[in-house]
Each structure stands twice: as C-alpha cells, then as structure tokens.
Amino acid sequence: MRETSLSLPAINDEAMIATEPEIPQAIDVLCSDSIATPGEILGDSSQFIAGKGSYLAPNGRNIHASITGHRRVLPPPADSTEKRSTVEVVGHKSRGAVPEPGVVVIARVTRVMARMVSADIMCVESKAVKEKFTGIIRQQDVRATEIDKVDMYQSFQPGDVVKAVVLSLGDARAYYLSTAKNELGVVSAQSMAGATMVPISWTEMQCPSTGQIEKRKVAKVLQTFFHFRI
C-alpha cells in the first residue's frame, strides 16, 4: 500500500492533541485467535450488532462470520441510542470489487450514441476490477442542469476516462452511471492529434501541442489524498 500525502505541519504536541479528531477508536486484536472463518460465531446478538462480513443467524441469537479475516469490534456511535457494539470481519484478502449503487467508479468510454454513452468500468472506488463491467450514461444523467439540451458528442468521446457514480444496477446488460455533479465527468482525454488534453473550463479541454479546443463535460478534480491499493 503506497500513500502519498501533502506535507505535514511542524509537529507540536500540544497542537496535535488539540486538533485530534473525534473518531471512535477501533479495537483491533491482532493475534491468531481472532482470525474468523465463515460460519464461526463472533458473538451474541444481545451484545453485538452484525457489521460488514458477518450476519445474524436465523434464530436471532448468534452472529456468524461470512468471510475469512480479522475480527474487529467497533464501539457504538455516540449519538445514537444503540448500546451494542458492532462486530465485523475485515477481510485479509478482499474479494474482487463489484459496482454497487452509490459508489464512485472510473470508466472508459467505448461508444457514444445520440442518447447515451457506453463505458467499461475499470475501477471501483480506487480498487481495480479483474474483469470489466459495462456501464451506461444516459442523456439525462450527464449533468444536473438543462438535461434535455445535452449533446452527447460534445460531452464525451470514445477513449475518454470518466469519473462517474453508480446510480443503480440497471438492466441485464449494463449498470446505470451518472456524471451529474461538478466533480464527475471526463478526467482524462486525448485530443485528435493524440496528446493528453488540459482542462480549461467545465465544458472545454485544450490540446497542448496544437492549441485546439474540444468540448467535453469536464470533472472538477479537487486536491485529495491518493491511496493506491493494488
């Protein structure tokens, strides 16, 4: 796991204590006893809630693990009336990424048509998929304003790398994607001359070698931490 971060401010003990965020500390017991395998009982339903990677048995009494991984107990959130901690299993080898409604994906445009665009989903939330999934961006999902006046050919071109959010599972053939937010849209595109274009506004990108301006629905990429997980 590689992490690139912005430069840290000068370390000052008092300042760090003052600005420490209030997050629930996860109690992570890393010994050989706490590796759970599918079916193992993690706890009782009177003391715990089933979190990720676990489920409640049909008799309503035990919580069993669903995958192989480390057992973790999270304390209950401070603002709710729930007194029970959450027990979850954190997979040591997480399964292949699958698009789910609400997650941000990176896709590459394959076909542009009058009312929709076909794209191959390559990454799901910074995790690359082993085999691609097919997604569709419909005309009404390209942007939030004036959705009936969208020209697909001036929003996307084949080969563009697009950041989108999964709207729903869609139909048998493809997932439904949407780029109707400022931070979604074309992230990287190649000009007709073959060079990688530079965004100049939210509708235009310019080729650095020829100076030609091409129209795209450009994503506004904010400064963030980039986590690379292979």
Partner 1 sequence: MRNDKSLLRTNEKDIKAERAPEISEMATGTSGTYSPSQCLERKQQEQKRKTFQEVDWARSDGRNFHQCRPAFLRTGAASVASGSAYAEFGSTKVIVSVFGPRESKKAMMYSDVGRLNCHVSYTTFSTPIRGQGSDNKEYSSLLHKALEGAIRLKTFPKTTVDIFALVLESGGGDLPVIISCASLAIADAGIMMYDLVSAVSLSCIGKKLVIDPTSEEEAWQDGSLMITYMPSRNEVTQFTLTGEWSTPKINEAMELCLDACSKLADILRLCLKENALELAP
Applying CB under 8 A, the residues found at the interface with partner 1 are 30, 32, 35, 37-41, 53, 55, 57, 64, 66-69, 91-96, 98, 130-134, 169, 171-173
* 2/40 Cα distance (integer angstroms): 33
Q: Which is nearer to partner 1, 38 or 75 (CB)?
A: 38
CB of 43 to partner 1, least distance (A): 13
Q: Which is nearer to partner 1, 83 or 130 (CB)?
A: 130
Q: Which is nearer to partner 1, 169 or 193 (CB)?
A: 169
Strands 54-56, 85-91: pairing is unpaired
CB of 69 to partner 1, least distance (A): 7
Give the burial class of 143: count Cβ atoms within 10 A of its Cβ; 0-12 exposed, 13-18 middle, 19 or more buried: buried
CB of 85 to partner 1, least distance (A): 21
Largest CA distance in the chain: 69
Q: Which is nearer to partner 1, 149 or 173 (CB)?
A: 173
> Which residues make Cβ contacts (< 8 Å) with residue 212, sequence separation at least 6?
191, 192, 193, 206
* 229/123 Cα distance (integer angstroms): 11
CB of 57 to partner 1, least distance (A): 7
Q: Which is nearer to partner 1, 125 or 151 (CB)?
A: 125
Give the E-state strand segments of 19-159 in sequence order.
27-28, 35-36, 41-44, 48-50, 54-56, 62-65, 69-74, 85-91, 104-112, 116-124, 127-138
CB of 34 to partner 1, least distance (A): 10
